[in-house]
Amino acid sequence: MKLSWETATLKLVSPFRIAHGTSTQRETVFVKLDEGVGEAAVVPYYGESTAGIIEYLSGLKVTDWDVFQFETIIQGLPPGSQAARAAIDIALYDLWGKRSGSPLFKLFGLDPDKIPQTSFTISIDSPVVMAEKASKSIWPILKVKLGEQDDEAVIAAIRKATQARLRVDANAGWSREQAVDLLPRLAQYDLELVEQPLPVGDIEGLRILRSLNLGVPIFADENVKTARDVAAHAGAVDGVVVKLMKCGGIHEALHAIETAKSLDMQVMISCVVESSLGVTAAAHIAPLCDFVDLDAPLLIDNDPYQGVSYVGANLVLPHTPGVGVMKKEC
């Protein structure tokens, strides 16, 4: 098997501001394993860097890999960059699908018509600007980024502007005290859920919030990477957010989803700022999930791949073998 990679800069349609900071572009690394392709998105607040991803990939010995010995390969990957591991994982699954002649969803025995509708993200800005974006949005589900000042004012303005289903994401931006104060007030605006209200690692704080029944289901995001992390949150949250780039790819994502379901937790399949390659790979396992947040291609101005398409908020998977993406013509 032959491994190669190339770096790329994804330019955003508009500045993307969350509690972790503001981006106008993001870096990513595209990987090839023979004819299989994968993606490692660079997310600095996950501790990832382009240099770190390339260093990880450079250390791999792939010449004797056999794609049909998938479990052995994945278990043998060294620890390190989760994004790089995800890229290898996605490329292996893509290669497996291509050599088997089937799209991944079919190999998994999943029905692509059962993918829940995706949300669309509104990044942090003033309440007026965020409400204006919501009023102009065609999307039936909006995910609202919070974690700075005027969080209640933002939700009040958006709820006045739209009847869309609302989810909020604090990106670890609140203290326990802020969350206890804010969540009951935000609950009156009919929210579906809140993602990661507390700083990363504060499982006990999440457990306390949930026990207080503050009116909004609580999902862990940055806290949870692997299935082991999911298990550690049993009883502390209502659900978990699974992303290929933080868990290391499809293989571990499937374990994380299975673990969550066994512990009566709901699952949202989500993404970081990544191209249609990474998002399409995630969409293949979306029928297993309760919520979907796979809108990254809609935020990117120069997506080099085409794969999953959007009919309103419905995701339509390609039926070609493997992940099913194609490189766009330059």
Rg of the chain on CA atoms, in Å: 19
Contact 230, 256 (CB under 8 A): yes
List, in order of start, the domains of the chain with CATH numbers: 3-101 (3.30.390.10), 107-327 (3.20.20.120)
Q: Provide the angle, in degrees to the nearest 10, between the axes of the packed helices 176-187 and 203-211.
A: 40
| C-alpha dihedral, 219 to 223 to 225 to 227, nearest 10° | -70
DSSP 321: S
Identify the three-state secondary structure at position 217.
Answer: coil
Long-range contact set of residues 107-110: C-beta below 8 Å, sequence gap at least 24: 108/284, 108/285, 110/284, 110/285, 110/287, 110/288
Give the whole-angstrom CA distance, residue 133 versus residue 293. 18
Query: How deeply is 183 buried, as exposed, middle or buried, from its count of CB atoms within 10 A (0-12, 13-18, 19+)?
Result: buried
Both tokens of 165, joined, read 């289903």
**DSSP letter at 267?**
E
- CA-CA distance, 281 to 318, in Å (whole number)? 11
Q: What is the pLDDT along the chain (330 residues), one digit of tens a residue?
A: 999 999 999 999 988 888 777 889 999 999 999 999 999 999 998 999 999 999 999 999 999 999 999 889 999 999 999 999 999 999 999 999 999 999 999 999 999 999 999 999 999 999 999 999 999 999 999 999 998 778 999 999 999 999 999 999 999 999 999 999 999 999 999 999 999 999 999 999 999 999 999 999 999 999 999 999 999 999 999 999 999 999 999 999 999 999 999 999 999 999 999 999 999 999 999 999 999 999 999 999 999 999 999 999 999 999 999 999 999 976
What SS3 state is found at 71? helix
Amino acid letter at 221? D
Quick one: how many helices (H) and strands (E) in the chain?
A: 13, 15
Angle of helix 176-187 versus helix 151-161 axis, rounded to 10? 20
Cβ within 8 Å of residue 112, ≥6 positions away = 105, 287, 315, 316, 317
Alpha carbon distance 37, 322 (integer Å): 9
